[in-house]
Structure 1
């Protein structure tokens, strides 16, 4: 694992971005609970006072960190009526092709699942945001399936989301992204069976 490199303390514009970048590196590498404010401020190159000027608490920083990742961890729903750049089948399966940004680092799986485990209180803002992301993940998959004409898009969305989350959690335990490859093969069977019922007019 590559250790985040502390930067020389700086002031002024860009401090918030550096803090979020440091949070992303540290939370991904070692988890939220193992990362302290002192380390965050050192790696970001800001004083603790500056950090607290941008984020009132570590909890606020965790929420901001998750918000910065939301769009990257949700399937892309094709705009309608514009044609989709890929078939619904390809879009539904593409979520299982996710690769960690640094292949040599330990496989950390889904950050939203990780936060929900590290922050178990369902009423905590970070846990609520993680749960909302997971609901949104299944909903976007269902939206893609619906555009393909699948008879029960909600069920297919939930099934694919469950496969992805299970593979992410297992991959974290085993330190292996191969679990997503196996999950993709199961997803192919589910998606193909659902699309087969749509008929020959379904885009494939």
Structure 2
């Protein structure tokens, strides 16, 4: 059997190639728009090999979401983990204007995008996304406390709402202005909360 044939039938590293391809295509084109034929062609594996490693597309989606988390904090949330920054800077760093992709499009949060596409049809994926969003909100609450907020839980929850809403609206409008507006709102809330003014 030739090397090319071995590659198409699987070979070493087939699972990783499939997963890397899923990360690329699902984030760029969406889960529903990415069919098995496109996945296998791009990953250079047979359909049989794909199903040997992932029993269903839902299982591949779950592995995709787990990979997004295991590769580290999602890029848009990375500022919360930058120890060299002050807590305030880490929070405001969430609202940087995202870069457009090669097609001139804002893709938004890949986890949120899966939830929207799934629309209740992929419960395991939904659970993974919910878990991540809850952890993110908890991290924001902890960072708000580090920043000296009077009511860190309230502030953290509201910052999460502003961040998620700003990203979703930026994606819908393909416009970075909602993120700028979100930063202004976050800064105002931080000022209130750290000056002893209730954010309720």
* Correspondence for 1:38: 37
Query: Cα 1:175–1:153, aligned 2, differ >3 Å: closer, same or farther?
Result: same
User: Relative CO higher for 1 or 2, CA cutoff 8 Å, sep ≥ 6?
Assistant: 1
Task: Give the paired residue count.
Answer: 187
Mapped partners of 2:115, 2:55: distance in 1: 21
* Correspondence for 2:73: 72
Unpaired segments of 5 or more residues in structure 2?
1-6
Query: Cα 1:126–1:100, aligned 2, differ >3 Å: closer, same or farther?
Result: farther
8 Å CA contact 2:97–2:180 kept in 1: the answer is: no
How far residue 123 of structure 1 moved from its aligned partner, in angstroms, is 7.1
How far residue 105 of structure 1 moved from its aligned partner, in angstroms, is 4.0
8 Å CA contact 2:79–2:91 kept in 1: the answer is: no
Unpaired segments of 5 or more residues in structure 1?
1-7, 199-204
* Correspondence for 2:3: none
Higher helix share: 2
* Correspondence for 1:201: none
Query: Cα 1:62–1:89, aligned 2, differ >3 Å: closer, same or farther?
Result: same
The alignment partner of 1:29 has SS state of helix
How far residue 126 of structure 1 moved from its aligned partner, in angstroms, is 0.3
Q: TM-score, normalised by structure 2?
A: 0.83
Mapped partners of 1:62, 1:44: distance in 2: 15
User: In the alignment, does 2:199 pair up with 1:196?
Assistant: no
* Correspondence for 2:156: 157
Q: How does 1:1-204 map to 2 (within 5 A)?
A: 9=8, 11-70=10-69, 71-73=72-74, 74=77, 84-97=83-96, 99-100=98-99, 102=101, 104-121=103-120, 124-197=123-196
Mapped partners of 2:24, 2:171: distance in 1: 17
The alignment partner of 2:73 has SS state of helix
Query: Cα 1:93–1:67, aligned 2, differ >3 Å: closer, same or farther?
Result: same
Q: TM-score, normalised by structure 1?
A: 0.81
8 Å CA contact 2:61–2:125 kept in 1: the answer is: yes
The alignment partner of 2:45 has SS state of coil
Mapped partners of 1:137, 1:77: distance in 2: 9
Task: Quote the RMSD (CA, aligned, Å).
Answer: 2.4
